[in-house]
Amino acid sequence: MMNATITTLMHFGKRDKKPRFRDTLRSIPIFADLTRRELAAIERILHKREYEPGERIFHQDDPGLGMYIIESGRIGIETDDAPDNVGDLGDGEFFGELPLLDGGPRSATAMAKTPCRIYGFFQPDLFSLIERNPHLGVKIVLSLASIISSRLRAANERVEEMRRLLEASKKPAPPVRKKRTSRR
Amino acid sequence: MNNPQTARLNRWLVISGFGFFALLMFTAPGVVKMVVLSALLAYIFDPLVTAIELRGLGRTASTCIFFLFVTSACWILFLLVSPLVMAQLEALRTGVSTEQTAGFILRLQAVVRKNFAFLGLGNVDLAERIQEIGISASGKIIDFIVEEGPTLVVYAVAVPFMIFFLLKDGREIKKALISVVPNKYFEFSLDLAYKMDVQLGNYLRSQFLDAVTFGVLSTIALWILGVKYFLVIGLFAGLANLIPYVGPVAGALPAIAVCLFDTGDITKVFQVVLAFVALKLLDDSVIQPTLVAKGVNLHPLLVLLAIIIGGEMFGILGMILAVPATGFVKVVFQESLVTLKKYGFRED
């Protein structure tokens, strides 16, 4: 962290070329349609952070400010209801993207499991980007909306499936025919 | 960040940064003044550069275009206005002893001698006293120009230079400062910084616009009333309006003095007072509610204390910068409390 800080302070203003991280960025659906120049503009507004194992990135119910992209390391996601880890995320994956749109509270806690280097992309930076480069801002917001709508569609399908299962379980079982016993 | 050694080092970095700033404030207040002034102006002009950026240009190109435009505008304004201002300043320096003024002073002297004899003013020679004050004041002005001239030149070069880089690299500087914050407080600090940015930007820009509007209106009013040196006095009134309570009075006083010594006409003095009262009412009821951000309401006592402390520490510029600086501190406290409540830090 200290080294990262000193490097940032020493090299601020200089454009560092990180083709590998740019590839990581392009692999993220939100940035998939961006040109090289647009990706460079995004890279300039990202905040680089480094975390030690066991260090919390954010806590469930904290005000959400934006999303994180993992460059290296593993992040564990857990909720208060399921403290035994909801999922693990690794290199090139991202998390916490919903607050980018609504700024709502965090729905889970994110914790570093190994030494991690992650990049934060935050709502105020997105708003500022929309203000000065509306073309790029709209592209990102549309990508976000598309991701969220596909998730909503998937969630709807799941709800529908569960409703069908529930209805099926509620249906009375067909009456079992009793064998007639002949009176003799 | 869990590494205690790293955390300690980082804490020391921040503490030594603050320590260095405090040391600078006492050992080289001029530098602090210059940095604060440049930062405030950069904050005010930032949206203009962003507006140029909106045309699809990079930040550096936008800043260059903005500077080119401002420099050209200042140069044209300087060429147009400077002969008039210089002429008015020259006239202000030499032309106070007209016949009308002499007549007014004699009448005033008679009134003072008659009514204030019990105070030992029975034989007071007002003309001589005023001349003495004039000589001492002009001496002080010359001393100020000789002593502060080099500093003013440094300001004229360094302040635009700083503004340029603050406008060009402001975002990177903010990012670099945020990167020093420990992970635990990172999102909180970022949230706080963004909110302060919005609040403070609105506040400073509105104060600046208010001062410009007041300056232009007072210049027009003084020109209509036919007050001499209307341009210089109007500009001064606009600048003085940045200081609440004291500013409007300080802005009106030179106009009243010029009326008294130039014409000796009491009716004109009343007209000037009336114009300033009307302008202040217009400022309070229309201009300020429209322009000035409502978020930063400072208590009159706090404002007065800030002005006194600013004046003690950095002179007139300190008095002008005291209110925005106090507004800044208030925004920091307000937003810190609100954001702290939202985050409610837990022990890991």
Would you state the structure tokens that stand for residue B178, as one six-digit string? 């945020």
Number of domains chain B contains: 1
Q: Which residue of B has its CA nearest to A9?
A: B176
Number of Cβ within 10 Å of residue B224's Cβ equals 11
Residue-range domain boundaries for chain A: 15-167
Return the CATH architecture of domain A15-167: Sandwich (2.60)
End-to-end CA distance of chain B: 13
Residues of B in contact with A58 (CB under 8 A): 187
pLDDT of A115 reads 92
Q: Are B182 and B10 in contact (CB under 8 A)?
A: yes
Question: How far B165 CA sits from the closest chain A CA (Å)?
Answer: 10
Confidence band, pLDDT 50/70/90 cuts, at residue B157: confident
Q: Do A133 and B54 touch (CB under 8 A)?
A: yes
pLDDT in tens, B60-84: 899 999 989 988 888 887 787 777 6
**In this structure, is residue B70 part of a structural domain?**
no
What is the model's pTM? Answer: 0.68
Q: Do B1 and A5 touch (CB under 8 A)?
A: no
Residues of B in contact with A62 (CB under 8 A): 187, 343
Residue ranges of chain A whose pLDDT lies below 70: 1-19, 83-85, 173-184
pLDDT of B1 reads 46
**In this structure, is residue B340 part of a structural domain?**
yes
Flag whether pLDDT at B96 surpasses 80: no
Residues of A in contact with B13 (CB under 8 A): 2, 5
Q: How far apart are CA A2 and CA B10, in angstroms?
A: 6
Number of Cβ within 10 Å of residue A75's Cβ equals 23
Q: Are B232 and B92 in contact (CB under 8 A)?
A: yes
Residues of A in contact with B1 (CB under 8 A): 1, 50-52, 55
Phi/psi of residue B98, each to 5°?
-85, 175
Q: Do B190 and A45 touch (CB under 8 A)?
A: no
Q: How many CB pairs under 8 A join A and B?
A: 80
pLDDT of A103 reads 79
Q: How far apart are CA B348 and CA A112, in angstroms?
A: 13
Q: Between B179, B346, B348, which is nearest A8 by CB?
A: B179
Q: Do B1 and A54 touch (CB under 8 A)?
A: no
Q: Which residue of A has its CA nearest to B171?
A: A45
Residues of A with CB under 8 A from a CB of B: 1-2, 4-5, 8-9, 12-13, 44-45, 47-59, 62-63, 65, 120, 122, 124, 131-134
pLDDT of A17 reads 47
pLDDT of A68 reads 92
Q: Do B175 and A8 touch (CB under 8 A)?
A: yes
Flag whether pLDDT at B2 surpasses 50: no
Q: Do A13 and B169 touch (CB under 8 A)?
A: yes
pLDDT of A120 reads 92
Q: Do A2 and B10 touch (CB under 8 A)?
A: yes
Q: How far apart are CA B343 and CA B336, in angstroms?
A: 10
Residues of B in contact with A63 (CB under 8 A): 187, 191, 342-343
Q: What single-letter DSSP state applies at residue B185?
A: G
Q: Between A9, A49, A63, which is nearest B191 by CB?
A: A63
pLDDT of A156 reads 92
Query: ipTM, 2 decimals?
Result: 0.74
**In this structure, is residue B234 part of a structural domain?**
yes
Which of A14, A48, A49, A116 to probe the B interface (max B CBs under 10 A)? Answer: A49
The residue among A47, A45, A80, A48 whose CA lies nearest residue A62 is A80
pLDDT in tens, B103-148: 667 777 777 777 666 666 667 677 777 767 766 666 666 666 667 6
Which of B12, B63, B183, B184 to probe the A interface (max A CBs under 10 A)? Answer: B183
Which of B179, B188, B346 to probe the A interface (max A CBs under 10 A)? Answer: B179
Phi/psi of residue A50, each to 5°?
-125, 135
Q: Between A47, A51, A133, which is nearest B1 by CB?
A: A51
pLDDT of B193 reads 85
Where are the alpha helices (H) located in chain B, listed in sequence order?
A: 4-27, 29-53, 59-94, 99-115, 126-178, 186-225, 230-240, 246-262, 266-282, 288-291, 300-343
Give the mean model confidence (pLDDT) for residues B171-178: 87
H/E stretch holding B83 reads: helix B59-94
A134-170 vs A123-132: helix crossing angle, rounded to 10: 130
> Which is more confidently placed, B6 or B254?
B254
Cα-to-chain-centroid distance, residue A74: 14
Give the mean model confidence (pLDDT) for residues B289-314: 73
**In this structure, is residue B98 part of a structural domain?**
no
Q: Do B2 and A49 touch (CB under 8 A)?
A: no
